[in-house]
Structure formats: structure tokens, C-alpha cells
Amino acid sequence: MGYETLSFEESDGIATITLNRGGHNRISMRMVRDLTAVCNHLEDHSDAKVVAFRGSGGTFSEGMDFEDFDPKVPLDIHGFNKWEKCCTRLERLPKATVALVDGPAVGGGFQIALACDLRIATSRASFQLPETHLGFLPGMATFRLAKYVGLGHAKRIMLTAEVVDSGTAATLGIVDRIDNDLDAGLAWAVEALGPNHSVAVELTRRLLNESFHTAYENAIGHFLAAQHRAISQTAFLDTLKKERGD
Amino acid sequence: MLDTRPRLLSVGTAHPPEGYSQEDLVARYDVPDPRIRSLFKSAHIMNRYLYLPEANEDGVPDESQGELLEKHRRGAMEIGPQAVKRCLDPMEMGVEDIDYLCCITTTGFMAPGLTAHLIKEMGFREDCARVDIVGMGCNAGLNGLNPVVNWAMANPGKNALMVCMEVCSAAYVFDGTMRTAIVNSLFGDGSAAVLVRTDPKDDKRFAGKVLGFNSQIIPPAIGAMRYEWDGEQSKFSFFLDRDIPYVVGANAEKPVDRLLEAHGLKRRDISHWIVHSGGKKVIDAIKYNVGITEHDVRHTTSVLRDFGNLSSGSFLFSYQRLMDEGVVRRGDYGVLMTMGPGSTIETALVRW
């Protein structure tokens, strides 16, 4: 595949992306390109129904790689834009996504986890958005985190750069399950996601992601359009046949 | 190969002088049915430009089919020339430079067609070739653009002009039914003109090249949108089936996927989506079936809000807003998409 910063494997309907870069899996532009290429592959060529994200070497990711900024080049916003687009691609994959977090998930690492449908963490896992203490912003975690934890917790986590341990993260609703055996955690997720019909997953997730900033009058129209798409799929037609005993 | 494709060099739009909010319309005519009054309260249309008569002594508009046809001709000859001028002025061109003229309308019928009237009214050259596309509905802008683009490819260096002229207020039937109220609360009057040319000298201009088209007709839904004679009212009356958004939604992916596949593209490669402002539900159906966002259809929804459904020219109003926004970059791809009677979904691929 030619990924430099991550490894990718796919078997039994599960695609696993392991962030794998020296220096605690920090996110470089190369990693952004690799993640985007993985999204292309998953959308175009993969039969996997579940996509898992992991980190190698006991760290999920320590966040943005500052070494990646060339001192000879004036700073601009375009790299940040590419990164956020990458997160949106991950968030909208036509497959269920699971973050398997061991060790620190910092900055962009935390954001990858937030972009996933489920988050499973070991007791060693921690979550942190230290950006404001470093003089910049915690990306579109500013958009995502409050939806998980509420505005108050989100402000505290971002403005105090608090290291949220996995127990607290589970209490706050960031982590769905704590399991020191992440393989077992993933097996639980695959089982729990059940038949995992991709159109139903994709549209339910989209409506949820849009729910905080959509007026009910608009949301009901979106729901009806999405529901019509879902009931036109073979998954629902098969359910009907089964339930009616056709 | 790419260099032989024509460009959309300029777009001009126009509308009647009088604009109305939905509240204005309910106040203007006597509308006793609360269900119909509430139809006019939805927030997705804030304004429409219309040619409206005064109410008669019964508080309703009272135009015969003959008067409606005359209103169509008169209205088209007011807004059509304005759109043409606004399209050609920025190019420092005049109608005498136009070699091929295509006029599109669904809201009125006449012979000779609008091309002949526009040529006489504006003084096009006598050897201007022409074609009238009549009665194809909201999708017709792309049905028209296809032959215009082909003509422009076959005649490099020559100027082709397509003009959509829709006086939807000439298709109004005011009979107190929900059927006509839905139509009367949705459509607006407007005209849009686009200049199309194949010329390597235009390479330096920032203008979209039309790379291809793809169509999807849905024969079982032939009756979902229809313009037909109402014997009781002695008028042509437009009918919109309530299932249109779902018919369109269920088929929307097909032409898009074929269009993109023919050019080796994926939906993620498309930076700009220009979708016909058909109505809120049909826009939602496109969004959730094609997998595009509220942001992708921002011009579609803002054109609907500010003008209503302008039928065939609607997508060109959105195209103009996209170009005015200044976010399009060289190399970007865009998909144009219109929906209408047939039932039909038409698509075109553009690259800047």
C-alpha cells in the first residue's frame, strides 16, 4: 500500500489501521496523507464492515508533530485544513468505526477518537487537548467534544489542558468501554454492532452529528429523506420478509 | 481532449420588478383555507418575484388562459433580454456576436418560439441559428445545455447562448385546492442566460469547462410532475405528486455515479454541487441520497429562499452565486444537477 506512518490490515470484515510512527505516533502531514489514502481505499475497495484505529508502542497518538513545520516556510492554515478534512472523511466512512485507545490520545489523536463511532480504552489510556496552553486551538474538537460531554466539561478539558484518565473519560461519555485487552474490546464492538447495515449506520450517524445544530423543522425533513433511503435498501426489505414470514 | 470542451463563459440573470414575501401573497388574495395559508408559512422561501394581477371583486386573481399566455410572452420578453444583456456585457459582447441561440421555457407556448421573439426584440443577426426547448420543465436547463455544448464543440470560436425564460406566474391556477396551492407557493419568475464557447483563446479565463452529461429518466414516475389541461378551470395546471422527493432521491445516485465513473472520478473529488432549487424536500432527498451536505447545497437553498423555484434557469442562478463567492479554484470539479418531469434527473460535469 505504501503507507509510511501507519500499518493497515484487513481480515474477517475488520480493517485495522495502526498509527505507527516513531516519536509517539505524532501526526505529520505524511500521516494525514496516509490516513486520507486509507479512507480512499476503504471507500473504494474494501468489504470491511468495521474499521478499527489503534496506536503502536503503547501510545495512541501524542498529537501534532511540530517538527513538521518547515522554519523556512511562512506559516499558513492549509495543513490544518487538510487535517480537518481528513477527520471528516474518517467520521463519514461508510463503515462503523472504533477507536482502540491505549496510552495517551493527545490533540489530533483525541480527535481521531472523537471522529469514531465507538471508543474502547485500556485503563492506561488518557485523553488531552493541550493546544490552548501551547497558543493554538484544539482543531474541530472545539466542534465535536461538547456534543459528547456538554459545554462545561468541554471548556474545562480544553482550557485547563486536563489529562482525562480512561475512568473519567468513561464517566463523561467519551469512552464507551474499558478493556485492557483491546482485541477482546474490538470483538465486543463487532458483536455489539450486530448486522451493522452500512446505510443505516451512515445515515443514523449523520443525523446524530447534525442534530445539535439543526432546527427540528429541518431535521424532520432530513430524517424522512434518510429513512426513505434506508427502507429502500435490501437490509430493510429482508427484515420485512423475515418479520412477516414471507 | 480537454481543450476541445466548451466553457461556460458568463452567466446573467434577471427577474420581474415586483418581489413578494409569502405573507404578502396570502394578504393579497382571499385565502380562506387554513391549510393553504399554512403552506405559505414555511421558512424555506422568503421572497419570490412574480407577475401578479390585482385581485378581482371576489378577492382572487382572475386571468384567462389567453391572458396567462400573453403574460408569459410579455414577461419573458422583459426578463429574457435583461438576462442576455447581463450575460454579454461583462464579456463586452452584444447580441450581434451570437451565432447560436437556444431558448428554454415550460411556462408558455407560442409559435414562432421565444428565440424568434428574442431575436426580433434584441436585434440578433439574421443568420443566428436557433432552437427552442419547450415543455421539459425544471430539468430543461441541462437538457438544453447538452445540445448547446455539442454545437459549441462542433463550431469552435463561435458563440452559443442559452436563455432560460420562465414566467411561472403564467402557470398559476387559483382554484382553492391544495394541488394548485402547492404550485402557487413554490414557483417564481426568472430568466438566466449562459454564454458557451469552445476557444483555446479562453484558456486564460476562469470559466468552467463542460466535460459531459448523464441522464436518468424514471418511466414509472411519468405522472409525478405534469402540466396538463384542467377542463373545469379551462387552464393548464401543474401537478406535483407528494412522492416526488422520494422518487428523485431513490434515483439520484445513478446518473451521478455514471457521470463520475465515465471520467474516473469519485464523489469525494467533486468540490462544488449545483443542484436545482426544486423545493426543500427534494433538496433534502438529494442531500441524503447522494451524500452531500448542507454546505454543498448552500446556493441551492439560498436561491430557493430568495427566488422560489425558478424552473429551468434555477441552477444558473446558483452557478452565478458560486462564481460570485470566489471559492472555486482552478482544477476544481463541479456537478450540475436538475430534476423535473419525466420524471427526470439530469447531470453535467464541469471543471474549472
Name the nearest CA neighbour of B343 among B282, B267, B294, B260.
Answer: B282
Q: What digits encode the pLDDT tens for the residues B13-65? A: 999 999 999 999 988 888 889 999 888 887 799 999 999 999 999 888 989 99
Q: Residue B150: what pLDDT?
A: 97
CB contact under 8 A, B285 and A89: no
Q: For residue B285, which residues of chain A lie inside 8 Å, CB to CB?
A: 225, 228
> Is the Cβ of B134 closer than 8 Å to some Cβ of chain A?
no
If asked whether residues B91 and B189 sit together in one domain, one would say yes
Same domain, B156 and B84: yes
Q: What is the pTM of this model?
A: 0.93
User: pLDDT digit string (tens) for A147-160?
Assistant: 999 999 999 999 99
Question: Is residue B233 located within the same domain as residue B193?
Answer: no
B282 interaction partners in chain A (CB closer than 8 Å) = none
Res B31: pLDDT = 85
Domain ranges of chain A: 6-192, 198-244
Number of domains in chain B: 2
* Smallest Cα distance from A116 to chain B, Å: 18
A228 touches chain B (CB under 8 A): yes
Residue A14 has pLDDT above 50, yes or no: yes
Say yes or no: B119 and B267 in one domain.
no
Same domain, B108 and B255: no
Chain A positions in Cβ-Cβ contact with residue B42 (cut-off 8 Å)? 217
Query: Using a CB-CB distance cutoff of 8 angstroms, which residues of chain A are in contact with residue B279?
Result: none
Instruction: Determine whether the interchain pair A226/B268 forms a contact, defined as Cβ–Cβ distance below 8 Å.
Output: no
In B, minimum Cα distance to A219 occurs at B284
Residues of B annotated as catalytic are: 138
**Cβ neighbours of A44 in B, within 8 Å:** 266
Q: Is the pLDDT of residue B229 over 60?
A: yes
Contact (CB<8Å) B288/A232: no
Contact A25, A57 (CB under 8 A): yes
Confidence of residue A138 (pLDDT cuts 50, 70, 90): very high
- What's the DSSP call for residue B337? E
The nearest CA of chain A is from the CA of B295 a distance in Å of 12
What's the average model confidence in pLDDT over B97-113? Answer: 96
Among residues B182, B204, B226, the one where a domain terminates is: B204
Res A246: pLDDT: 82
**Of B165, B185, B204, which residue sits at a domain end?**
B204
Q: A48 is written with which cell numbers?
A: 470491511
- Please indicate whether residue B31 or residue A127 has the higher confidence score (pLDDT): A127
Final residue before a domain boundary, out of B159, B184, B204: B204
Cis peptide bond prior to B17, omega within 30° of 0: no
* Touching B: A residues 145-204, CB under 8 Å: 202-203
Could you read off the pLDDT of B252-281 as tens digits, one per residue?
Answer: 999 999 999 999 999 999 999 999 999 999
Euclidean distance between the first and the last CA atom of chain B, given in angstroms as a whole number: 15
Is A224 in CB contact (< 8 Å) with chain B? Answer: yes
The residue in chain A having the minimum alpha-carbon distance to the alpha carbon of residue B253 is A229
* Residues facing A164 on adjacent strands: A127
Dihedral angle computed from the Cα positions of residues A148, A153, A159 and A165, in that order, rounded to the nearest 10 degrees? -80
Residue B123 shares a structural domain with residue B216: no
Q: Which residues in chain A are closer than 8 Å to B291, comparing Cβ atoms? A: 92, 202
Q: How confident is the model at residue B153 (pLDDT cuts 50, 70, 90)?
A: very high
- The answer on pLDDT for A172 being more than 90 is yes
**CB-CB neighbors (< 8 A) of A92 in chain B:** 291
Beta bridge partners of B272: B334
Instruction: Work out the percent of chain A whose per-residue pLDDT is above 70.
Output: 100
Interface touch A228/B250, C-beta < 8 Å: yes
Q: What is the average pLDDT across A178-196?
A: 97
Domain around B181? 2-204
Q: How far apart are CA A222 and CA B280, in angstroms?
A: 10
Given a cut of 70, whether residue B298 has pLDDT beyond it is yes
The answer for B 37-76 residues in CB contact with A (under 8 A) is: 42-43
Mean pLDDT of A14-27: 96
CB contact under 8 A, A222 and B284: yes
Q: How far is A33 from chain B (nearest CA, A)?
A: 15
Q: How far is A13 from chain B (nearest CA, A)?
A: 23
Cβ–Cβ contact B1 with A under 8 A: no
Say whether A225 and B285 touch across the interface (CB within 8 A).
yes
Q: Is A30 exposed, middle or buried (0-12, 13-18, 19+ CB in 10 A)?
A: middle
DSSP-H helix ranges across A50-130: 78-91, 108-115
Average pLDDT, chain A: 96
Tally of CA atoms within 13 A in the half-sphere of A110 that contains its CB: 30
pLDDT of residue B39: 87
Provide the CATH number for the domain around residue B294.
3.40.47.10
Which of B268, B288, B294 comes nearest A203 by C-beta? B288
Are B222 and B150 part of one and the same domain?
no
Residue A217 near chain B (CB below 8 Å): yes
Q: Are residues B125 and B145 in the same domain?
A: yes
Please indicate, yes or no, whether residues B242 and B317 belong to a single structural domain of this protein.
yes
pLDDT value of residue B3: 67
* CATH number for the domain formed by residue range(s) A6-192: 3.90.226.10
pLDDT for position A1: 58
Give the total residue count for chain A: 246
- Please tell me whether residues B168 and B213 are part of one structural domain: no
For the cut 70, the answer to whether the pLDDT of residue B1 exceeds it is: no
> What's the pLDDT score for residue B160?
98
ipTM over 0.90: no
Q: Any CB–CB contact under 8 A between B5 and chain A?
A: no
Q: ω into residue B343 within 30 of 0, thus cis?
A: yes
Considering only the beta carbons, identify the residue of A92, A210, A229 that sits closest to B289: A229
Closest CA to A69 of A125, A134, A13: A134
| Domain co-membership, B314 together with B326 | yes
- pLDDT digit string, tens, across residues A207-229: 999 999 999 999 999 999 999 99
Is B265 found in the same domain as B195? no
| A56-78: pLDDT as tens digits | 999 999 999 999 999 999 999 99
Chain B residues 277-296 within an 8 A CB cutoff of chain A: 280-281, 284-285, 287-289, 291, 294
The Cα A131–Cα A106 span in angstroms is 9
